[in-house]
Amino acid sequence: MLNRLLRATMTRLLHPIAAGLLRLGVSPDVVTVVGTVGVCVGALAFFPRGQLWVGVLVITAFVFSDTVDGIMARSSGRSNKWGAYLDSTLDRVGDAAIFGGLVLYYAGRGDNRLMAALALACLILGSVVSYAKARAEGLGFTADVGIAERADRLVAVLVTAFFADLLGSTLLLGVVLALLAVASLVTVLQRMLTVRRQALAAGEVTR
């Protein structure tokens, strides 16, 4: 939902940056890779040390590259399957780094097994959410449904981690991680049921 609501606004705001990078001869793929590296550095260099709000600021500075590279590709006529594949693959890497950084912190210096487990659940279920859609599309079905899309999960965890760290509230982040884990699980089930209905209609399921 957030993904659809924010896309048009962010495209307008980031279009001048994308145009400037194209004039400098920067390719969309370079922006994709640099953005992912920045997100990973922000998550894995700062989160495990408990510097959540600093990590969030670094991640935020790079996370919008996911929109910038798309604008650049469309504006320059370079939209292609390779770019889409690279973008989707590196999105998974960035997402894993964010939740993985939280797992490392709470399994180590943060010394909170419950929080580590919740972050790990979000990491795993978030990956399954993406896989459920990608696999469905690979089989000729669609699974563009769910209450916890990527943008929803990222905004929720980054905003909450920032304020939870500043306020010293582990409970706040714990509640949000638990909700994200549940929402991700629900999304996986929604996508599985959607694909099953399509498979039944196509005669691909033995009743």
> Can you give 140-163 as a three-state secondary structure string?
CCCCCCCCCCHHHHHHHHHHHHHH
Give the C-alpha distances (Å, rounded to integers) separating 11 from 73, 123, 149, 197, 205. Answer: 12, 28, 19, 35, 41
Q: Which of 66, 91, 95, 165 is catalytic?
A: 91
Measure the CA–CA gap between 117 and 105, rounded to whole angstroms: 11
Give the C-alpha distances (Å, rounded to integers) separating 172 from 52, 57, 132, 204. Answer: 13, 19, 29, 45
In sign, the C-alpha dihedral spanning 129, 30, 161, 154 is negative
Measure the CA–CA gap between 187 and 184, rounded to whole angstroms: 5
Is 91 catalytic? The answer is: yes
- Position 23, amino acid: R
Measure the CA–CA gap between 185 and 148, rounded to whole angstroms: 9
Please name the residues in contact with 62: beta carbons below 8 A apart, sequence gap of 6 or more: 34, 35, 36, 37, 38, 39, 42
Residues annotated as part of the active site: 91
